[in-house]
Structure 1
């Protein structure tokens, strides 16, 4: 965390002017962002640490029960209790669930089951999907429109023309935002270098003859170099103030040009920290499903992660009951009776 206490103008005999107030607001904002980013990073690290021990085993257990149900449906399909309408529904459920478990959860033992009910071999389907993905990635139009975007869940070229145009418009806007952020980053880096070079000119110890002063400048240069390597504008700004012999009590005497310069540097730091905050929020969202705009504290993030774990435990408990329930053919039939295959007319021929 960056110590920003020195970057605050105290209000004494007269009220602060607009630039002085802006200086304090920016300083406070940086301090708050710095704390929040550190807090969110701790939350992210804690989730990564807990996933192998707390989440992954539950996911494997749940998907294992799904596989057990697919195998139950497979055995039931051959039973005398079920006529054609129910068998059609079972075949649909078997192929839909088996495909997901094979493709997304590496349960390849279900391939023979899938192939019993699908006119196309599972390996052929998986290879076709892989080729579509390769073709989509190599498409120049796709590359042009999605330079900075994550892959969509559905192949771009399988979408309607209207949906394709909507996605392209979103990507153009997001690409422009990315370029703006890159320009801001370049601007920030330039400011860091500018402040750094000015400090080096003053504090470089090589030409200093006085040993005590040389030692002081050597220590100062170590601080300057550390801040520069970390791209830390705030620490460099503090050192800039030291160069100008500006302490906390003297900040109120900064002239208009000095304040404008410092406010410009602080604004750039706020922009950079905002980008860092958004980046960690989006990484958190990808893990626990919390909307990234709501990932504002370690407490909130870990609470959501714990909720996900508890919900998965409840789902495991429920799917175990469902499996046991469906071991009785009449109860499975009661589930299948109202079940409707998507985009297919209801068949009441068994009634």
Structure 2
């Protein structure tokens, strides 16, 4: 007997009827000769697609490649391999991906502890690495014979270290003030609000305010390595202007494209797995009516679990909207 999904489980599903509709929103190999990169989901092999995309078209590239782990991506298997073999895998696509970046563009590349050294080494051959962001992905029960893996890296690189866009004001974090200091009786670098005392702070390269998507969140999909919308919102706001282009060569379930659309950017993503393309296409349809990003409101990023209005969601969430 098939299991019944809890009423609070908001994980995205796509019906067979919806798939028929969503196929019209996806580019397939049969029409890649007429490729239009702007606001496109391309369901194809990346290595066969890169040459069809124009060089220097992307203002920002976000790369979330398969890590050096054995994973089943809905029937597409990736096998753990030696560091040398993993480096050769990265070399098959990274140089061409970097040619798609504008001269003033930025690139962010995700990795875990087992792949990050290789990714840094290969990235430094193509671009100038400016920083490594480490973010806390507090999820999972842990390990009995090793330290729990709860951190991932994002390498920040540019083509020209003397000419690139970065907007720190757009990615400040709203933090609770535990010991509010006053000067002449007035708050010093903080504000008193009805919800408490808060301070806007510049972000560091360690992010501990990210929530990994889980089953009760509307952005959650069945993709096994989905990135949070809040995580990508920081990258997109900091390193692109409204109306610019965000390219993702490993689109997955579409987080980069969805967040780009919500934040007023154009997008282009390549994903080999059709099921994940359906997830991305449906999320993009839903983003036409709901541009909210959990943990980000009124131009401000909040610390994890501190945005009161998001704690007060109705106990019975709205049913996922049908597409027709």
TM range (shorter): under 0.3
TM-score when normalising by structure 1? 0.22
Structure holding more strand per residue: 2
TM-score when normalising by structure 2? 0.24
Question: Which structure has the larger Rg over C-alpha atoms?
Answer: 1
Structure holding more helix per residue: 1
